Structure 1
Amino acid sequence: MSTFGAAANTNPNKSYEVAQPPSDSISSLCFSPKANFLVATSWDNQVRCWEITRNGTVVNSTPKASISHEQPVLCSAWKDDGTTVFSGGCDKQVKMWPLTSGGQPMTVAMHDAPVKDIAWIPEMNLLASGSWDKTLKYWDTRQSNPVHTQQLPDRCYAITVKHPLMVVGTADRNLIVFNLQSPQTEYKRIVSPLKYQTRSVAAFPDQQGFLVGSIEGRVGVHHLDDAQQNKNFTFKCHRENNEIYSVNSLNFHPVHHTFATAGSDGAFNFWDKDSKQRLKAMQRCSQPIPCSTFNNDGSIFAYAVCYDWSKGAENHNPATAKNYIYLHLPQESEVKGKPRAGATGRK
């Protein structure tokens, strides 16, 4: 019996559990850029918000509010002032939810197929939405029509923005790079350095490149400048024996600019791309981690633990497949970069 208990441990890293989690798989997590409010979207059609409070090493979560979509919700983003949440999903729309005023959610974007990812671009005061209808649309939330519709080569899977850099990952391993100073033209189209389907992307904090994660337990580190191509590399992660798992989430630390990966193996790891080192490998949870995020100062790392449907409906057991959101407090040693090999100078 004890071995089964060990095998079913969803929280081997002794993280803090978020109260009243979603009733179905969690599709996205995002923290407010201004305060410790955490939003989760779920396959139960709900968008939920919690207030996270921390007193020393004790962390508490208080459910604050929620809204409904008509179908599963796949993605979320905050406005940069922390007042408003955007959410999109299988009902082919993006809703804008003013949290501060207790206002009602309103539809601010529409597509012809599910909305897979969204990003708020503060420098442009626009919302970008990417869909399986093979378009990327920019929205002024005060207008009902998009400011611009960009055709994509295939279905959108992931978006990352660090103005002026935006990268959109689509089906068929396309990575479309935009310079948002001229957003209506593709800056560069890259075939993913990874041989399998793109699952996640994350722009470098210095806008000089991006990370891409695939379903095949691998991450690519890609620089945009042709003179920096010798710095590009890929590495394996989220593999166990002969099992290979998807890299579902890539998050840069807001202070140290190291990054976290989270995968369908139930593990999350912290990495330093500049020294090409893994800083910390955490214990594997007994279910996949479909999404994760840092709070605004990097002192809290939130991650979801739930079934991610990667092995189909036949492997989903509702009796055992509970849904969890956990909060990990990263120690500096886990997220602070290491000096590069061969680097000189005092530490």
Structure 2
Amino acid sequence: MIDFIPLEYYGTIRMYLMLTVVLITILHSLVLPMEDIKNKMYIAVMGFLILAYNVVYIGLRPISGKYFVDMRTYANYFKSYAIGGDILVKDDIFFHQFMKLSSSIMTVHSFFLLCAIIYILPLYVVSRKMFKDYWFYSFLLLVVSFSFWGYGVNGIRNGMATSIFLFAIAYRDRKVVLIAFATLAYLFHQSMALPIFAFVLTLIHNKPKTYFIAWLCAIPLSLVMGGFWEAFFSSLGFGGDRLSYLAGGENTGFRFDFLLYSASAVFAGWYFIFKRGFADKVYWQLFNVYLIANTFWILVIRANFSNRFAYLSWFMIAIVIVYPYLKQKFFKNQNVVLAKVIFMYFLFTFAMFLYYKID
């Protein structure tokens, strides 16, 4: 356990360290072509360093409810199971069975390290599977994403479930692996029913124009009829008791800042697919899954804790944005353009970090 760092600075230290990595990476991208041997050596070494660092730093953090919120709740469950306590929860029971089994063979600190491995390692595997030698850029954007830290230290189950889902669709060409890991993602967190449904829908209809128009229409529909959509989805019972967030709590208002963040991936997909004619069917599928899940969130954007629904699409933003740059050459100095993209992407994360620290 890393107990020598004051908890009030724990997240801050990581943020500034990742800022340093981002700046160094941008410098490399500005002066070296992506295919340059020196750049390839850098991204290989730095990639494994940030992989190991994030697993250890997140996995061996001290147990705290004040700074890591739900971590304390999970620790209490774990300690109860370790002394023979029964599983009393009714929702997402698979995760509690996993926790109870873990409590019989490891300590609570080892358990959280295991959770970090399940959360982070699939992101490396997915990046490597999709982008080969250039996996680092995808992985870097994933671990500096706005929601990455929060779902690694607080919304732990949800974070693991989304990583498992990404692993599943990375192996969409192997049906047994796809189905097995998509099912596992759902068992870890039942909210994964939405992105799984979206993925199945793209197997039937994979035309980006359809989902792009639906996404655009969702914005005025949410502005004008926000309360209707919250009541409608709540009445359907989608996601079980999680939709209680739609029916109860305070109205948080229309989050234009979060909509802008969501729109970054939509703009990327629109630009490369419609303006540049990028006809990669895998990218279409990733983009369409993102659009479907994000459209649902826009319709319920005013709901209490709507960020929990937003994350069902946000975990894909980094891949949707970076995918075209690592698959095809679109620009004369693509390394320079990629550097600007990395900077702008991290800028939002860093700005929100500063805003909430000050607030």
| TM-score, normalised via structure 2 length | 0.27
- The structure with more helix, counted as a fraction of residues: 2
Larger CA Rg, structure 1 vs 2: 2
